[in-house]
A and B are shown apart, each in its own frame.
Chain A
């Protein structure tokens, strides 16, 4: 049976290893020194050390990953998400080494990787992009004319930028001259490429994405949408499928658009078309993620399709196991990402020991995790610990199920965001909707649980009291009290 090397760590590595096992495929894990005892390492059939903890010395070292595959005889590499998953150079190196990279071609990755190229390709394929320039903007006069045409506010973006950097928002024509010059200067300084382009700014948009799957036999399908508008620091924390408050007409139009977009780059495997959606349900292509997404479980729960299983089938040259007409959304799924971070201090990462870890179980719940009680959450990588997903026949019941599940999630050892997630889930804006990417910013500071403070204080004293009672040597008739004991020990120390 073929062997798959999983070039990743944490929950996604564990998720992929399990899917491989279900298909009877061998599995090879890779790890950095910080992950020597991590769950993905002992879950796999074999494991190969890559290097020291920093990602650039371990999980980002494509050469070491390929060497590990060759050493163990793995003929396929699953990149998971992040790390090497959208690196077209790595993909080419895999091809050269005769290893099957589980993902799209290097061509598709390149087409989607550079923003202006992706905009041009999508526009040519009839996919709506955010109004603005398709070509780089060369002069202030050109910028001025375009901004007047599309209307303010606008965004100036670095063509080679990414990760939310190199973006400026301009509210009116007066801001343009200084803004344009500044954007060019910044783009040149940060990305080594001074070219900028202009997009209409869609303020507080909804962030809705479409899952696609394609095989090498010419079949490309979509698996409907995920609503990902609950974000903090421009990163998603709660996702759901279907999106609440999206008309069936728009939903179908978006699915059709996503298939067209994937076909335009001869896409193969699992991918996601991310869109901005405004209050009138106008949707615009934002980018394509040429890999599996963190939030893929909500699509799996809502459609019943195992996306990793399909990825593995496609990589082995088989057809997708499902056709477009088989895909229906059933019920409602919500995912919450559990992060080791402190919401009361601007969501700063809070690595630490997982002293208590007992995720909730029950009907309609799914947990994707890569750690267990007693593990240390390393400070070198992403601070996501687990994903908790809930499925129910309708959205109100899915919310109730998630709320109850979060309440009984036992976790301790470092700051985490569970109470913050509960707050979002309980908020009227989330429950009633519609909501947009501004949701998290509108919430008040976290409530306190004063009601149970007294019981906790009392318990702290009772626990301490009992520890001290238990330490008293009483069996041999020595009835020394704390008072005497402290005196005796103190006296001994003094000598």
Chain B
């Protein structure tokens, strides 16, 4: 079964879909580009990843900052999340964040609002927790900012796209 991941590196977010994992051959789609990769575990812990044109030996190391992928001495740190979970949570900094408005990207019940008016929320900070289909999902404010409006109350049901919290950028 295909699984979609949101792969974030710095400001860049890519959608990587693992279409098929047959062990030494993995078929993925990276932002719409279909790739058939030869994937082979090396004895030193690295993984050889190859297309017909290019072959690299990569090492994956989970760190506090995210998943560190090392290509010899080139270091890339990724945040990888399951796209289904991030879609439910409206969490991934895409449409939920425009203009300082944090909105619900799915219908659900507001179970917690961990922020207060005038509070400064760091980038990626949780501003609401929505429950949908028996799952709690953190709703994050990708850009951060000062809370200037809390548009909902705990316990209410909201529709997809409903405004939850409005933030204003903080200027130093």
Contact = CB atoms under 8 A, between A and B. Distances in A.
Contacts of A468: 82
A412 B61 contact: yes
Contact of B74 (A358, A452, A458, A487): A452
Nearest to B60: A463
Interface in B40-88: 44, 47, 49, 51, 54, 56, 58-61, 63, 67-76, 78, 80, 82, 84-85
Chain B facing A: main interface SS: strand
Given A410-B73, A465-B18, A454 B85 contact: no
A400 interface: no
Given A462-B26, A487-B134, A407 B35 contact: no
Among A455, A459, A468, A494, residue most surrounded by chain B Cβ atoms (within 10 Å): A459
Contacts of B134: 487, 490-491
Contacts of A454: 30, 33, 35
Contact of B75 (A412, A463, A469, A493): A412
Interface residues of B, number: 45
Contacts of B56: 452, 455-456
Interface residues of A, number: 41
Nearest to B70: A412
Contact of A356 (B3, B7, B33, B59): B59
B55 to A, nearest CB: 9
Contact of B135 (A464, A466, A486): A486
B26 A355 contact: no
A409 B135 CA distance: 45
Among A406, A409, A486, A490, residue most surrounded by chain B Cβ atoms (within 10 Å): A486
Given A407-B72, A490-B134, A460 B28 contact: no
B37 interface: yes
B54 A457 contact: no
Given A410-B73, A412-B59, A412-B68, A460 B135 contact: no
B16 A461 contact: yes
Given A449-B74, A466-B21, A460 B60 contact: yes
Interface string B10-44: 00001010100100001010100101010100001
Nearest to A414: B75
Contacts of B16: 457-458, 460-461
Given A355-B61, A412-B59, A465-B21, A483 B84 contact: yes
B133 interface: yes
B80 A464 contact: yes
7 contacts: A355-B61, A356-B70, A457-B30, A459-B69, A462-B21, A462-B26, A490-B134
Contact of A459 (B33, B47, B72): B47
Nearest to B13: A457
Given A356-B59, A458-B37, A465 B73 contact: no
B22 to A, nearest CB: 12
Among B5, B21, B51, residue most surrounded by chain A Cβ atoms (within 10 Å): B5
A118 interface: no
A418 interface: yes
B60 A412 contact: no
B123 to A, nearest CB: 20
A461 B28 contact: yes
B33 to A, nearest CB: 7
B9 interface: yes
A410 to B, nearest CB: 5
Contacts of B78: 456-457, 460
Interface in A81-136: none
B136 interface: yes
